[in-house]
Structure 1
Amino acid sequence: MRTYAVNSPQAAGRLLALMMIVDGNLASAELQALQRSKILEHIDMDAAEFQRLLQELCDDMLTATATLHGAVQLSNPVIDSLLAEIADPDLRRKLLHAMWKIADADGWLADGEAVLLTRASNAWSAETNFHRHTR
């Protein structure tokens, strides 16, 4: 997998893209949820750049991950390394909120989505400021 600068639009966008494809299916409802969330505006990324990032993620995953029944199988260390590229507590909160909206959009929480959301919640909630702002 490529590495991106911490808190960069690319690091944040990749997590959003991953949320959309980790179940092996890019649903139009997920794209609509992404648009409604306005998260791309927050991370200063336009739709064309997000599409390029999504393609790069798919390319990386074809060479670096396994699939099972069409769903992407990422190892926990890979997921954790992607999550570690986001350090800002405010950005973490906004991304996690958008990731949940994307996961909920198609009315089905796939195993891969659940794993990604759980790992993000666990890794990012260890941040003291995260707890303080979510209450």
Structure 2
Amino acid sequence: MRSYPRNSPESAARIVSMVLLADCHVSRDEMDALKRHNIPHRLNLSHPHFMLVTQQLCDDLHTHAEMSWQGAQAVPTANWHAMLDEVSDAGLRLILLDLCATLVESDHHIDPGEQTLVHSMADHWYLPRPVWRHRARQMPVVGHAVD
């Protein structure tokens, strides 16, 4: 994975992009929220530059993946922590956690992979986990009938 300068707009944008891609699907609601909350601008990037960082992340994930993208759980914890460690500014960490939680909830449900990723951000940075307005979808247990 490529690295970015510490606390750079690109290092912050990559974290947001990772959360957008966490459930293998970027919904229209998430893209609308990205624009509505002016997230690229809040990270000091233009929308095209933010999308370039997202594309670079996809390229890196594709290059380093042993199989097709199956969500954030496919990224080794050490790689995710290395991305998080590129942001050391406490204020920027708080902003990123809030922006990511906003994006996750924008489609009115929380995928377990998204929730895990955002919780791991908070835990890694020793910040409180966000309080969700929506409930995470339950993952079906393999081998058991789902009602």
TM bucket (normalised to shorter chain) is 0.7 to 0.9
- Alpha-carbon RMSD across the aligned residues, in angstroms, is 1.9
- Corresponding position of 1:106: 107
In structure 2, the gaps of 5 or more residues are 129-147
Letter in 1 for 2:11: A
Q: Which has the higher helix share?
A: 1
How many residue pairs were aligned?
127
- CA shift, 1:76, in A, is 1.2
Query: Is the Cα–Cα contact under 8 Å of residues 7 and 85 in structure 1 kept in the other structure?
Result: yes
- Corresponding position of 2:21: 21
TM-score normalised by the chain length of structure 1: 0.85
- CA shift, 1:42, in A, is 2.3
Q: Which has the higher strand share?
A: 1
- CA shift, 1:10, in A, is 0.5
In structure 1, the gaps of 5 or more residues are 131-135
- Corresponding position of 1:57: 57
Query: Is the Cα–Cα contact under 8 Å of residues 41 and 47 in structure 2 kept in the other structure?
Result: no
- Corresponding position of 1:133: none
Provide the identity percentage. Answer: 26
Matched residues in 1 for 2:89 and 2:19: separation?
19
Letter in 2 for 1:39: I
1:118 aligns with 2:119: yes
- Corresponding position of 1:9: 9
3-state secondary structure, aligned to 2:125 = helix
Structure whose alpha-carbon radius of gyration is higher? 2
TM-score normalised by the chain length of structure 2: 0.78
When residues 67 and 102 of structure 1 are mapped into structure 2, their CA distance, relative to the original with a 3 A threshold, is farther
- CA shift, 1:43, in A, is 1.8
